[in-house]
Amino acid sequence: MGPLRWLPLLGHLLLLRRSAAQSAGPIQVFVLPHSHMDVGWVYTVQESMQAYAANVYTTVVAELTRGQHRRFIVVEQEFFRLWWDGVASEQQKHQVRQLLNEGRLEFVLGGQVMHDEAVTHLDDQILQLTEGHGFLYETFGIRPQFSWHVDPFGASATTPTLFALAGFNAHLISRIDYNLKDGMQGTQGLQFVWRGSPSLLEQQEIFTHVMDHYSYCTPSYIPFSNRSGFYWNGVAVFPEPPPDGVYPNMSEPVTPANIHLYASALVANVKQRATWFRTPHILWPWGCDKQFFNASVQFKNMDPLLEYINNHSAQYSVTVQYATLSDYFQAVHAFNMTWDIRDHHDFLPYSSEPWQAWTGFYASRSTLKGLARQASAMLYAGESMFARYMRPEPHGTMDPMWALQQLQQLRWAVSEVQHHDAITGTESPKVNNMYVKHLRMGMLGIRKMMASIALDRSSVSGTDTRPMGYFASVYNPLAWTITTIVTLTVAFPNVNITDKSGQPVSAQVQNSTKAPSAYDLLILATIPGLSYKHYEVRHTHGDQADPKKLVVPMASTHKFSPKLRNHTSQKGRRLIPVTNDCYTLLFDQDTNMLHSIQERQSHHTVRITQEFLEYRANGDVKQGPISDNYLFAPNDTAEPTWGAVGMEMVVGPLATDIRQYFYRNITDQKYIYAIHTRLAHVHSSPTEELLCQRIEQHYRVGPLELNREAILRTISDLNSQQILYSDNNGYQMQQRPYKAFKSNPIARNYYPMVQSAFIEDDKSRLVLLAERAHGVSSQENGQVEVMLHRRLWNNMPFNLKYNLTLNDTSVAHSMLWLLLGPKSITTALRPRSGLALQHTPVVMFRELTDEEAPIQKPQNPQAVTLPPSLHLQILSIPGWNYSRDHAQHLKNLQTGPPGKPQANLQRMLLRLHHLYEEGEDPDLSQPVSVDLKVALQGLGSVVAMEERSLTGTWDMQTLQRWKWKTTGHLRGHPTYPPESAGSSIITVYPKEIRTFFVYFQ
């Protein structure tokens, strides 16, 4: 969740006007019971289950069964699944099914978690929704139709598009900038139709409701009490509930003596809210964090209160009822208003008050952010590798059900960490450790599975090496042919390397930066889509080297003496060029800093330099605004904290590495920052284009001193006008012009960079691609700064109470790729290069021994290749056992045998994503037609395919989403004609994401 930091209650009810729509009759209040349950945050999932989460479902189900008028919504599926699988009795399960059938219990959102919207990747958002929706549909035949995104720290424009694709009819958010929300309340603009994608427009629009400034919690303000208003069940006790079952009380019980005061407080709040909305329907959330773990007490107090208000409805001009989200949105939809349209702009960044810009979490716990994306990439590769293993039939000794269990374990772990207090870095240390443990365990299982497939072994080799060498399999998880440099860490410098046919391979050896006694073996690999390359790496022993086999050349290292930060040369610039077909990088020998980059195709040179700086954060709430794991509130502009920089160049035939080391003082032995820049010496041919056009940079930051926030600032002579572009979730770009805020302007001009950002002028664009989320900003013309790491401690009581101070002493290791060139080139390269960074080839290796027989090379099935505009977003065997026919599935649920049926290993989930916006590129932005039978023929003969909703639960031929009347007439691309029945040829339009079930012979 995070601190609510509510605005003070507004006290000018009589000054607020009523709308014409509301004056015609009584206000209809939909009291929506809910419990916000963070999957993590302060306490671990297990602690939360023990303290309150299990009791929420147990007591709510019991209370709903006792009262036909009562309602409740369920949001996070991780907690519900744990309760369903490990706590619920058969009687309770029967009651849940009955309540669902009656519409009195409703699943909203339906994902494993309520995911963050700022720093999560599109693919991982879809995964966690798919996991939750698959469980709900398989278990109940339920398909959520409304979102409940009440707590993420800002709202992305990707989210409405995804939720529309998932079949949702309406979208609900809460946390947006306080100034903006106040303005929307004043103009009754909290509800609108959001067209999140500029390419898709009305094709995937969704009605959106922004909660007013009271947010998702029941107002705690009450005129006659300083207690907590409408929360009667107490405060959850951690880690175990109290032995006597009596929780600390929060609210004064409703009695005949005070019921009129309670009613007056509720009605006054409702009438205040009614001035902010255009219809006479008010959504009144009842609940908050960890509420309803004793639902009996809650309903026992609210029941008579609602009855009292309805008995006096003529006096109050208000009627009240318990409701689900469906009840509320159906009433608003039936009112048949005409709604304004919001375009594709997001609601980021989020500020809750002056000096409270929630932009610090973009970079909090960078290590967890990196691990989460690494796990996601490994899962992506493992999914397609397992799908290939099963088609046309399993071709090894691995048990498919065991493999599916490994995939499911990592699916859960990656889904869990998308929670808005997980990947954001806003959780306590023990909860962070829980996420890391789950991710690492899941990754280990997938690593074992992939090794079993690629190497026909149960596990990969350990870290101890043996002198003979290695056998390596390299898997390309993307559906394109890629050329890249693969790095293996080996124990010896004298090696030769051959491919599957015994031919030598382009490679180089150099000293490793990871271990002093190890070496990095760089291999140039061209690998078709969803295919392997196999290599043998053998140790050559001096005179025993086979003269027929070429020894891999050793790169030469050139060291440059450290230079002071303010050093200026008296002799003029001495520039050292590092060149390939696409770029010439010039480094200043007198400063050991990058000086400029020449883009060789256009012969245009851009002055570029890079350095590390730190913002000093205030840690004392008595001294002013503080930075914490949520907030960024710098005292002043960033300052350099290094005094000298050393440099070395590692030059080989395949690549040159430039290693810069930043020291606090020139006499220090240990550096505090490092940049390792790599330029590959390859050609700008079509097969090597992506590798030639990128400048790879690895960063090492820390450990930081206390209350420091470290950035990498790239300074160029581009006339960018302080306009930055950064992405929403790796899906689409947002323009971020610098805004001259009166308060906290530095922090409020920070934005999330999940996968890419760029600045540009009329000649060149400088693109940054990231493998994890960061904060990014352009504070000056031609500048872009990336926040890489944070270490904070403060005395804010809230943070101290819950151990939420971010005293992160780790060393952060992150990576960016830089692209530079004309807009036409970088536009075409950016989406595919971002995916190449996210989904680098997976390397599996094992040791070779002298006694080992000649290796039986693993089967390398036919490549899967898609057009360059299309990304294979997922190729997976989910294992769902539900019937694809909805009526048949519901019948099976009613008559099916007890217990869970065997997983279906025949159904394959395929999702395709068009990477380009409409009009973005003359060629790549065109609609793409592809014959799936041809594209997937390497997996076998496709016998059936059907289009599904984003998460797979709806047949697209039967999905009918609600239509909302709007003021605008902007249209996206023409609605494409339906593919002819039985045809395997599909067309994907710009930015479309299309999902299919595919069945093979």
Catalytic residue numbers read 151
Residue with tokens 């003082």: 665
CA distance 689 to 699: 24
Side chain identity at residue 187, one-letter code: T
Query: End-to-end distance of the chain based on CA atoms, in angstroms?
Result: 48
- Check residue 18 and report its DSSP letter: P
Question: What are the two backbone dihedrals, phi and then psi, of residue 548, each rounded to the nearest 5 degrees?
Answer: -80, -15
Q: Name which of 685, 690, 646, 651 is nearest 665 in CA terms.
A: 646
Q: Which uninterrupted H or E stretch holds 814? A: strand 812-821
Q: Which two tokens stand for residue 497?
A: 């390397």
3-state SS assignment for residue 883:
coil
CA distance 153 to 193: 21
Q: Could you give the angle at the alpha carbon of 533 between the alpha carbons of 529 and 534, nearest 5°?
A: 160
CA distance 647 to 645: 7
Q: Name which of 45, 815, 1 is nearest 377 in CA terms.
A: 815
User: What string of DSSP letters covers 680-740?
Assistant: E----SGGGHHHHT-EEEEEEE-PPPTTEEEEEEEEE----TTEEEEEETTTEEEEEE---
CA distances for 727 relative to 157, 176, 799, angstroms? 10, 18, 30
Report yes or no: 817 and 695 within 8 Å, Cβ to Cβ: yes
CA distance 144 to 928: 31
Strand 531-539 vs strand 469-476: parallel, antiparallel, or unpaired?
A: antiparallel
Q: Which two tokens stand for residue 712?
A: 């990498």
Residue with tokens 């994902």: 111
- Check residue 50 and report its DSSP letter: I
CA distances for 450 relative to 384, 456, 523, 771, 843, angstroms? 10, 9, 21, 22, 10
User: What string of DSSP letters covers 433-450?
Assistant: HHHHHHHHHHHHHHHHHH
Q: Name which of 820, 844, 691 is nearest 767 in CA terms.
A: 820
Rg (CA), the chain: 29
Side chain identity at residue 814, one-letter code: S
Q: Name which of 952, 767, 927 is nearest 874 in CA terms.
A: 952
Scanning 774-822, the segments in alpha helix (DSSP H) are 797-801
Q: Name which of 132, 4, 119 is nearest 77 in CA terms.
A: 132
Side chain identity at residue 675, one-letter code: I
In terms of residues, how long is the chain?
1001
Q: Which residues contact 292 (CB under 8 A, 6 or more apart)?
A: 33, 34, 35, 56, 59, 60, 72, 233, 298
Q: Which residues contact 230 (CB under 8 A, 6 or more apart)?
A: 218, 219, 220, 222, 251, 262, 266, 286, 301, 302
Report yes or no: 768 and 758 within 8 Å, Cβ to Cβ: yes
Scanning 804-877, the segments in alpha helix (DSSP H) are 823-838
3-state SS assignment for residue 33:
strand
Residue with tokens 């914490």: 628
Q: Name which of 961, 929, 958, 930 is nearest 946 in CA terms.
A: 958
Strand 842-848 vs strand 708-716: parallel, antiparallel, or unpaired?
A: unpaired
